[in-house]
Structure formats: structure tokens, C-alpha cells
Amino acid sequence: MASVDERYEELIGELKQIALLNSCSSVLGWDEQTYMPPGGAEHRANQLAMLAGMSHERATSPQLGELLDELQDEEALGGADSERAANVREARRSYERATKLPRRLVEEQSRARTLGQQAWVDARRRKNFADFQEWLERIVALKQEEAEAVGYGDGVRYDALLDDYEPGATTAQVKEVFGPLRDELVKLVAAIADSDIKPDIDLLARHYPVEAQREFGRRAAEAIGFDFSAGRLDEAAHPFCSSFGPGDCRLTTRYDEYHFPGAFFGTLHEAGHGIYEQGLRKDAYGTAVGHSASLGIHESQSRMWENFVGRSRPFWNHFYTQAQDAFPEALGEVPLDDFFGAVNDVRPSWIRVEADEVTYNLHIMLRFELEQPLISGDLKPADVPGAWNDTFHRYFDMTPPDDALGCLQDIHWSAGLIGYFPTYALGNLYAAQFFDQARADLGDLDAMFEKGEFQPLKEWLNKNVHARGLQYRANRLVEVVTGKPLSAEPLMRHLHGKFDPLYRL
């Protein structure tokens, strides 16, 4: 009879083969969003559906189940908190979820995602939800079927989808965290709105040549630690980061020559995701310990580099003269104080990915509020534009003028990523708590940033967050790294620390 060590190595070998197969789909998915001609959508859908079916078949094989059955003794694996126990635990979780999904459903979802995303791109360009409605109906029906197949115990149907992105989290838990945060944010937004300080954001809408934006954004991404020898930066309709495995991480952004923040902060955001992927242990590829802890933890990394670093005064004390050199006509005569105020302007806006730090979480809560009835069946896809506009008006006292600025702005629903959105706000909470701990451990981060020294923070994250992978689930990881459970206090302290003096509150 094979030993525990032999069975464990056999399991790891199989997990790595499944990861390699999935990485092939990632390459095709990245190409679809960047360089594939529109005419290739149907063929690409068939390619991805076939790969999804192959991966599902391997991930649900009886042999894999037998290996997992033989590896249930955590003590024999080194204890519950050991790397080996974590790899087996998360492999079992994935196996149990996958075996509940029929191959037909997996292939249909893959095909719907590919064709749905192409329909979304066209509908968004035409600002017309009706052109996407049929695909949303199909995708929602498939996600409802997935939720029923996976099951959700005593919770709600949405739990089954949320758990796929934030393992162990429930709708009730997210509501419990979001409620107090929303109340505090509403007060801060109101106080800022009453302030006499109104940054001149028009200076961000001057002419910023795309080529100069591309070079400046790349330089900043490289400075904070993204390794371009193991990655690249391209353009897509919606910014994203896609990792194919060790040594190959792809970022995308989108450029508007009359809007500086979109591409620049979008690039920093995606570079944050990329730094996380590049910081995962290469020797653990395909296993839990070589995988990100959750989408919320992933977002904590991107939001930290985008906002806690990239929108900080010390960052611009270092980078602003370089920005003036890159954009002499737009910024040559603009004082740093004016620029810093503009990139930290707080006011309600249409687009989530371009929202300021204070109102951003309200954008997430809006989506969270709509996704739950969408999956329960209480909100029909045909009614999404009206529900979106009504909810947006309630949150921001504005009504989107068209669907492109409203319910069609995000790729997530067309990609089947329902349950993903809450992880963005959770990411902000994780980011604040990690950043507080990094400052306590490393000392004067502001002084480091002013000198262009971002490596200490990156290395701290590599060691404390990235290298641990999914050894611990998100809530536990936060406690291991910071010694405290997740709290909204660090985020609100960060927001008040920046915006109270900026707006003289």
C-alpha cells in the first residue's frame, strides 16, 4: 500500500496537470480580449468550451477522488495549518464543487461567456442594453443552475456563487461588514460635498497623448515592482490581469487621450494584481499554496498599489516632475498641490473603475444589491437597466444618461462572474489592514515612497501575503498577518487621514 507521502506527491502531480490545462484556456481568453478579430468569436467559444470540458473531466475524475479520500488525516500531513494540509483541503473543496457540476453545464457556461462577452462589447459600444439582454438571460440562468447544483445549505442561492470567489464567505457576513461601512462612507461623502474645497479636475481632461501615457504608466508599474521580463501590458475594452503561470503575467488597460486617471491608475491597479501573481511561489504552481488566497485578497493588492501608494502625496512628490516631463502641455504649469487634489477629487461619478476612493465602495454595494435578486429570480434580466438606474440614483442622486455609463460598464456579468463584485470592497478593507501592519513593521513608508523606494513594501507583501498563497483563507490570513480580525476601522482611518485635511473637514 502506498504511503501518505507517495499519495500526496501523486495528488500534487495531478493538480499541476489540471492547472496547466486551465492555463491554456487563460491564453485563449486573454487573446480574445486583446487581439482576436470579432469574426473568431464562434470558433473561440468552441475552443474554450472543449478545454473547459476536458479540464472538468480531469478535475472530477474518480482517481482524484480516491487520492483525496486517502489523504484525510491532517495530522499525517503535518497538522491543520501546514502547507500540505492546505493543499489537500482546498483540492478537496474544488473537487467537491466540480463533481456537483455536469460537464454539459460547464461547457455551456464557457460558450455563453465567450459569445456573451462579444455581445457585451458591441452593446456597450452602441450604449444599448437590449443588444445584450438575451445573453444576460442565458448567463443568469446558467449561474442559477450552478448555484442549485453546488448547493448553499441554510443560506441563500447567492452564497453558492460568492463562495467561489471568497471561500467561506456568505451573503449575510458581507452584509454585516458592508452595513456599517456604508453608513460611515455616506457621512464622509456628505461632509466632503459640503466643503468649500473643489479641486480643478478639468486639468485631468487636457490632452495626454496616448503614447506618453503608455510609457509613463509602464515606468510607474515597473517602479512599484511589476517585472516586465515576466509580463506585458496591452490594451482591452476592460482592464484586467491574467496570469498563465510562472513567468507569464499579462496586464491590460485602456487609454483616453483626454482623461489621465483612467489608464494611469488602471495600470497601477492591474500591476498590483500582477505583482501578487508574480509573488506566488513558482514551486507550488497548481496547488493551493501557489494560488491566491481569494479574490478579496487579490483586490487588496491592486487597491493598495493604486490608492494607498499611487494616490498618496509621497508617491507624487517623487513622480510629479516625471509626469510634467511626460505631459508638458497638460501639466507643465500645474502646481503639485492642484494635481494632487485633482487625482484625489471626491464626487459621485458614473464609472466604477474611475471612481474615487471614498465613493468606490458604494459602486460595489450597488452591484451587490442587484446581484442577489438577479440570482434569486426576484429581478429579471430585462429589468436590470431600470433597477440599476433607480438604485444608482438612490446611492448617488444621479441617473445614468445611457446604458454604457450604467449597467453595461462592467464585463463581469457577460463573463459569468456573478458573485465577484463584493470582493472589491472586501479588498479595500484587507488593503487598509495590511498597509497599517506594513507601516508598523517597516517604519516610515512615506519617506521611502518620496525617494522612489517601493521595494520594501513589495518584499513585505511577497513574504507576508503572496508566498503564503491559500495556506490560509482570507479572514484567517488577515489575522495571521496583522494579529487582528478584519475591521473597517483601518480603512476609515486611512480615508479620514487623507481627505479630512485635503477638504479641511
**Residues contacting residue 462 through CB under 8 Å, at least 6 positions apart:** 279
C-alpha cell at 324: 510634467
Beta strand pairing call for 231-235 and 248-253: parallel
C-alpha cell at 117: 462577452
| Residue 231 three-state SS | strand
C-alpha cell at 55: 479540464
What is the set of active-site residues?
A: 270
Give the C-alpha separation, 15 to 63, whole Å. Answer: 12
Measure Cα distances from 297 to 85, 359, 371, 472, 474 in Å: 21, 20, 21, 11, 7
Question: Which residues are 171's β-sheet partners?
Answer: none
Q: What is the rounded (10 degree) CA torsion for 402, 407, 409, 413? A: -150
**Residues contacting residue 277 through CB under 8 Å, at least 6 positions apart:** 241, 243, 249, 292
Give the C-alpha separation, 485 to 435, whole Å. Answer: 14
**Residues contacting residue 255 through CB under 8 Å, at least 6 positions apart:** 210, 213, 214, 235, 262, 263
